[in-house]
Amino acid sequence: MPELPEVEVLVRGLEGELIGRIIRHVEINKPTMWQGQGPANLIGQKIASIERVAKLIVISLSGGLSVLIHLKMTGQLIFTDQKGAKIAGGHPDDQFLASQPSKYTHVFFDFDDGSHLYFNDMRQFGYVKVVDSSKLLDHKHIATIGVDPFATEFTAKYLFDALQKRPKTTVKQVLMDQTVIGGIGNIYCDESLFEAKILPTRKANSITKTETVALRDDIIKTLEKGIKYGGTSYKDYVHHNGARGTMQDHLKVYRRYGQKCVRCGNVISRTIIGGRGTHFCAKCQK
DNA sequence: TGCCCCCTGCAG
DNA sequence: CTGCAGGGGGCA
């Protein structure tokens, strides 16, 4: 589910809760979702930091280990102060799923003060992986990751060069390629291209320098907007406390096919690019 | 570079 | 029942 904004919001929320807590117990209900070193290595370790790398969550422990968590499509990380604690702001339908272990809770961490962190994942695409912090860069998802959209390296020139290098593919596929840019997924890709008035079906190397300048700015603006609204919560995405984001109420094209374009009134179209549903306005995107 | 797959659930 | 879903790895 989560793309950059969703992971960013989640990480910021968890940061305020997890730093300094000591892991007392780890329970794995679904061994296939746990990779790397065993859970015993985490006992007694203090949480030193938590950060986002593209769409990956990296929790670093004081003892030199890092816990990598990828939420893929339906992952959730839920923090609760106590067992049975009421979750604030959650959607009624998500209350049960988010507030306590369910059949979708595959891993949970207990901390020294009795608080907990649950990893839920309905579709089981995600994972928890424990690695040495010193070998973090060996993890393939980190080693091959492209620039972060919020990094100073993400310039119009960088984007233009990347687009030029891929004459055979579409602009959408380049934006979604995590080795080029880390963090853009299906929602924010379609939204950014709408803002930049560029059709997702365009060949990557047909995008002009002028268009690239606008596109780069619109990518950043769109991601910032997603963070501002707490991410997109269609069904599964929730914050660390179970609350839902509201970006789904502010999307202009994503999953709006058949509805009117907010910019020109034309009907929003849908097609498939790289196996992913793709939404655009055929009239005001060129 | 493109296709299939992982898995579960939901809407039409 | 079919198609689709915030991701991405493996395979020709």
- Model's pTM, two decimal places? 0.94
pLDDT for A137 = 87
C1’ B11 / CA A56, Å: 30
Q: In this model, does residue A140 exceed pLDDT 80?
A: no
Catalytic residue among A52, A55, A172, A216: A55
Helices (H), A146-273: 156-164, 171-176, 186-195, 209-228
Residue A15: active-site member: no
Closest nucleotide to A273, Cα to C1': B2
pLDDT for A27 = 95
A94: its two tokens:
């998500």
Give me the amino acid identity at A207.
I
A74: its two tokens:
């339906």
Q: In this model, does residue A18 exceed pLDDT 90?
A: yes
Express as a percent the part of chain A with pLDDT over 70.
93
Average pLDDT over residues A178-206: 97
Q: In this model, does residue A100 exceed pLDDT 50?
A: yes
User: Sorting pLDDT into bands at 50, 70 and 90, what band is A98?
Assistant: low
Residues at the strand B interface (Cβ < 7 Å): A 103, 122-125, 166, 168-169, 173, 235, 274-275
Q: In this model, does residue A23 exceed pLDDT 60?
A: yes
| Mean per-residue pLDDT over chain A, rounded | 93
Number of other residues whose CB lies within 10 A of the CB of residue A114: 11
Sign of the alpha-carbon torsion through A56, A57, A62, A65: negative
- Which pairing describes strands A56-61 and A47-53: parallel, antiparallel, or unpaired? antiparallel
Find and list the nucleotides of strand B having atoms within 7 Å of a protein beta carbon: 1-10
- DSSP H or E stretch at residue A280: strand A276-280
Q: Per this entry, what is the length of chain A? A: 286
Catalytic residue among A166, A255, A276, A283: A276
In whole angstroms, give the CA distance from residue A273 to residue A49: 37
Q: Which of residues 213-232 of A touch strand C (CB under 7 A)?
A: 232
A158: its two tokens:
């960088």
Q: In this model, does residue A91 exceed pLDDT 70?
A: no
Residue A202: active-site member: no
Q: In this model, does residue A88 exceed pLDDT 70?
A: no
